Structures are given as C-alpha cells and as structure tokens.
Amino acid sequence: MNNLLNILTNSNKDIDNQLLMDYISGKLSHSDRHTVEEWLQENEFEADALEGLEAFGNKEELQQYVIQLNKELKNYIQSKKQRREKKRIKENPWTYLALLLILLFLVLAYVVLEMVNR
C-alpha cells in the first residue's frame, strides 16, 4: 500500500492521499466515502486515475507494471536523446573555419562590387 501512496505524492492536495487509499481498500465510513465520491465527480482526471488503481487486484502485479513503465520511459527518453545528438551539428573547428571563410569572401565580394559601381 505504501507504493501506491508514492503514486499520489504529486496529486491534488484538495483531498488526503490516505483517504484515497482507504477508499480503494474499502475502509471508509459511509460519510467519508460519500465525500470522496463527490470530490471524484468534480475531478475527472483524478477519478480516472483512481479507477485505474482500483483495476489492479494484485499489488505485486501493480509494482511490476510500474517497474516496466519506468524502464520503457527510460529507454524512450534515451533514444530521443540519441536522436537529438545525431541531429545537432558536431563541434568541428573545420566547420567554423569554412563558415568564416565564406563570410569573409562574401564581405570581400560586396566591397569589390561597391568599389566597381562607384
């Protein structure tokens, strides 16, 4: 149950996380259950998240699913980082030298053309 509380650490502070966990476990009194259900009606995103948590009957299965999601997320971020690195222009002094020479040539051509026109 402690791992499920970690999922809710960044959730909305309008309602206590322990109250949500007790709601999932069915440990709430009728009035508290009613309060949580009213809050869930106002917060559709949180209601969907709570419904997803309730769908997991086996808590070990949930933990394995969280580990798998974290692994896939890490792989996705790593591959995205590698693609970004490939697209970036590599630090190459010859590239900078070539650009500088092209710019100097263009400035020199402009100056020569201006002198010829006068």
Domain ranges across the chain = 2-89, 90-118
Reported as a pLDDT band with limits 50, 70 and 90, residue 6 is low
pLDDT, tens digit, 9 for 90 and up, residues 48-72:
877 877 777 666 676 677 788 889 9
Q: Write down the residue that tokens 């009213």 correspond to.
A: 38
Above 70 in pLDDT, residue 9? no
Q: What percent of the chain has pLDDT over 90?
A: 24
Query: For residue 4, what are the CA distances in angstroms to 52, 58, 63?
Result: 12, 12, 9
| Whole-number Å distance between alpha carbons of 20 and 31 | 14
**How many whole angstroms separate alpha carbon 37 and alpha carbon 22?**
12
CA–CA dist 113, 118 (Å, integer): 9
pTM here? Answer: 0.40
| Mean pLDDT, range 15-27, rounded to an integer | 73
